[in-house]
């Protein structure tokens, strides 16, 4: 019979130890360079910069929220297999409240300067190309800058508290080894999951759906969530791969864990496709003007705007290619393939948010989006540095939070189970 590994961490290096001191400045420089070049290349156009910035922000935020979901769900379901990779998820989840700092770039101009070039509803009488009439009532009660600011701060505080309660308790368990802490986290995961669901619903409405005020889809929060969780699994897998390449936690995270993470990524690629298709099909089929204008802009290639190609990129790049690619067991268990696949998934997640957010730049600039749609604004000199910038931020946050703390839950009571299971 197979010998069982005891539930002990045996890797020689289990933390970033001192290298985080070097990595934090590296991340910061990367961020500064990326965002700086992005701003310069947009020629000082703050609106263009803000939209691009919001895209990378939402890409990163939804991914980190996916990590938070991962942590909560693993506690909720008493999962055993994930004990080795949950800490990485906890660290990313902990970066969510720090993301509020990043959002200030968008939020402060709105609050202080009435800046309406990103969230159009800040300005009176603007409908964002929607055939619906004015929405004064909605603005009076919900979509106004004060409420928006309060809600944003509330979301991030709630997420921060949630992430901290898991991260902190888990760190405490590292030293005490108290298995009752796991039980405590499991119990609180129940109502935390509800709060998470409620906040992510309204956060997705506020951050992305309200860019096109009066465009509405009840499916939108699920869409936001599905993409975020998909890329969260890719990010956790990618981080584990990179950490192991640098000689950390080499013994604990095994092929079996990568296999499972890849299976979950695969599942959420499909789930995202399911949600995206259902949302599209219902709107396409019913053909109501108050809904279709949003898709029409993105898919009908109005006046050769190029958005149609971006939609096709999303369809093939975000659904079909990863679906077929991650179907093979060989790919799921091969670390080299996975390294590439995870980066690819993360880029596709950015493509997805680009597709949601950037067309609104066109409606902001054009007086009538139907007749004068703005071409696909993709400019590699702006958008790619922005992507590099957010990568720098993610690295910084990860390193600051991980510091010299263990990168694996050292005394998790389910570690033994995690170290001993095998996929077929």
Partner 1 sequence: MAHSHKPEKEKPVGPSSKLVSLVAQFDDPDSLVAACDRARREGYQKMDAYSPFPVHGIDDAIGIRRTRLPFFVLAIAFCGLAFALFLQYYVNSTDESPLFPGYKFFISGKPLGVPGVPANIPVTFEIIVLSSAFATFFGMWILNGLPRFANPLHRIPRFRRATNDRFFLVLEAEDEKFNESRSRQQLEEWGATAIEECHLDLTDHEIPKNFKMAGIVLLFALLLPPALIYRAAGMTNRNPRLHVVPDMDWQDKFKTQTVGPNFSNDELVPDYLFGDPSAMRHPVAGTIARGDATGQDEFHLGYKPGSEPAPAHGGPNANTQDPAVQDPAAQAAEPEWLTSFPGGVQVSEATIARGKQRFEIYCTPCHGFDGNGGGLTNQHAQALAVQGKANWTAVKSLHDPAVKSQAVGRIFDTITNGRATMGPYQNQIPAADRWAIVMYVKALQQTGIETTGATAEASSATEAPAGN
Partner 2 sequence: MASTIDMSLDNTFEDPSRRAPLVLGGMDYGDVTDNVAAIWEADRPPKTWYVVFTIALVLLGILGACLFHLIMKGTGVWGNNNPVYWGFPIVNFVFWVGIGHAGTLISAILFLFRQNWRTSINRAAEAMTIFAVVCAGLFPGVHIGRLWVFYWLFPVPTEHLAMWPNFRSPLLWDVFAVGTYATVSLLFWYMGMVPDIATFRDRTKTKLGKFVYSLLSLGWTGSARNWHRYEMAYTILAALATPLVLSVHTIVSFDFAVSQLPGWHTTIFPPYFVAGAIFSGFAMVVTLMVPCRSLFKLERLITIRHLENMNKIIMATGLMVGTAYGIEFFIAWYGGVKYEGFAFWNRAFGNYWWAYWIMVSCNVFIPQLFWIKWFRTNLVAMVIICIFVNIGMWFERFVITMSLSRDFLPSSWAMFRPTEIDILMLIGSFGLFFTLFTLFCRFLPVIAISEVKNVIPHDHHDDEHGDHSGAEVAAAH
Q: Which residues bind partner 2 (CB under 8 A)?
A: 4, 77-78, 80-81, 132-133, 135, 137-138, 142, 179-180, 182-183, 186, 190, 194, 197-198, 201, 205, 214, 216-222, 270, 274-275, 278-279, 281-283, 285-288, 290, 413-414, 416-417, 420-424
CB of 375 to partner 2, least distance (A): 28
- Residue 182's binding partner among partner 2, partner 1, none (Cβ under 5 to 8 angstroms by kind) is partner 2
Which of 284, 323, 344, 378 contacts partner 1 by CB under 8 A?
Answer: 284
CB of 257 to partner 2, least distance (A): 13
CA-angle at 234, arms to 118 and 280, nearest 5° = 55
**Phi and psi angles of residue 406, each rounded to the nearest 5 degrees, phi first:** -65, 145
Question: For residues 96 and 418, which CB has a smaller minimum distance to partner 2 in the complex?
Answer: 418
CB of 303 to partner 2, least distance (A): 27
Contact residues for 306 (Cβ-Cβ < 8 A; gap 6+): 375, 376, 378
The terminus-to-terminus CA distance of the chain in angstroms comes to 16
Helix (H, G, I), strand (E, B), or coil: what is residue 119? coil
Which of 2, 141, 218, 371 contacts partner 1 by CB under 8 A?
Answer: 2
In terms of C-beta density within 10 A (0-12 exposed, 13-18 middle, 19 or more buried), how is residue 271 classed? middle
* Tokens (6 digits) for 115: 């800046």
What residues form DSSP beta bridges with 15? 406
Question: For residues 248 and 411, which CB has a smaller minimum distance to partner 2 in the complex?
Answer: 411
Whose structure tokens read 């001192």?
18
CB of 280 to partner 1, least distance (A): 7
CB of 406 to partner 2, least distance (A): 18
Q: Are 405 and 171 in contact (CB under 8 A)?
A: yes
Question: For residues 153 and 328, which CB has a smaller minimum distance to partner 1 in the complex?
Answer: 328
Interface residues for partner 1 in 307-336 (CB under 8 A)?
327
Tell me the Cα Rg of the chain: 22
Q: Are 134 and 127 in contact (CB under 8 A)?
A: yes
Question: For residues 191 and 285, which CB has a smaller minimum distance to partner 1 in the complex?
Answer: 285
CB of 45 to partner 2, least distance (A): 31
Question: For residues 12 and 285, which CB has a smaller minimum distance to partner 2 in the complex?
Answer: 285
Integer Cα distance of 97 and 258 in angstroms: 28
Counting other chains too, the contacts that 43-46 makes at CB distance below 8 Å and 24 or more residues apart are 46/109, 46/117
Binding flag, residue 218, partner 1 (CB under 8 A): no
CB of 361 to partner 2, least distance (A): 23
- Pick the stretch among 65-73, 87-95, 277-285, 380-388 that binds partner 1 (CB under 8 A): 277-285
Helix (H, G, I), strand (E, B), or coil: what is residue 15? strand
């Amino acid at each position: 019979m197979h010998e069982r590994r005891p539930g002990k961490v045996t890797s020689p290096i289990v933390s970033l130890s001192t290298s985080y001191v070097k990595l934090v400045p590296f991340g910061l420089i990367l961020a500064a360079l990326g965002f700086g070049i992005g701003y310069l290349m947009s020629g000082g156009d703050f609106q263009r910069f803000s939209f691009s910035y919001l895209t990378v922000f939402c890409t990163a935020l939804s991914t980190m929220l996916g990590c938070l979901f991962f942590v909560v769900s693993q506690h909720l379901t008493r999962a055993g297999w994930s004990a080795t990779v949950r800490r990485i998820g906890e660290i990313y989840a902990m970066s969510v409240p720090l993301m509020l700092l990043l959002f200030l770039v968008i939020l402060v101009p709105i609050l202080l300067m009435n800046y309406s070039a990103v969230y159009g509803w800040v300005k009176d009488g603007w409908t964002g190309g929607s055939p619906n009439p004015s929405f004064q009532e909605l603005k009076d009660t919900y979509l106004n800058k004060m409420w928006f600011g309060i809600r944003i701060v509330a979301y991030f505080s709630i997420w921060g508290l949630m992430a901290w309660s898991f991260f902190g308790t888990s760190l405490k368990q590292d030293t005490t080894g108290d298995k009752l802490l796991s039980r405590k986290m499991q119990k609180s995961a129940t109502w935390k999951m509800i709060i998470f669901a409620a906040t992510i619903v309204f956060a997705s409405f506020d951050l992305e759906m309200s860019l096109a005020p009066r465009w509405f889809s009840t499916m939108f929060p699920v869409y936001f969530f599905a993409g975020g969780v998909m890329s969260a699994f890719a990010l956790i897998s990618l981080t584990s791969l990179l950490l192991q390449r640098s000689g950390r936690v080499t013994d604990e995270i095994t092929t079996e864990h990568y296999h499972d993470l890849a299976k979950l990524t695969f599942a959420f690629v499909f789930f995202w496709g399911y949600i995206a298709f259902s949302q599209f099909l219902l709107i396409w089929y019913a053909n109501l003007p108050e809904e279709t204008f949003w898709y029409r802009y993105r898919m009908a290639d109005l006046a050769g705007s190029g958005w149609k190609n971006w939609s096709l990129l999303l369809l093939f790049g975000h659904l079909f290619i990863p679906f077929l690619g991650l179907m093979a067991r060989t790919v799921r268990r091969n670390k080299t393939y996975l390294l590439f696949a995870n980066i690819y998934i993360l880029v596709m997640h950015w493509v997805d948010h680009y597709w949601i957010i950037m067309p609104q730049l066109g409606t902001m600039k054009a007086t009538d989006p139907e007749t004068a749609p703005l071409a696909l604004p993709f400019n590699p000199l702006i958008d790619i540095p922005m992507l590099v910038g957010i990568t720098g931020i993610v690295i910084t946050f990860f390193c600051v939070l991980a510091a010299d703390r263990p990168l694996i839950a050292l005394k998790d009571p389910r570690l033994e189970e995690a170290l001993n299971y095998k996929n077929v």
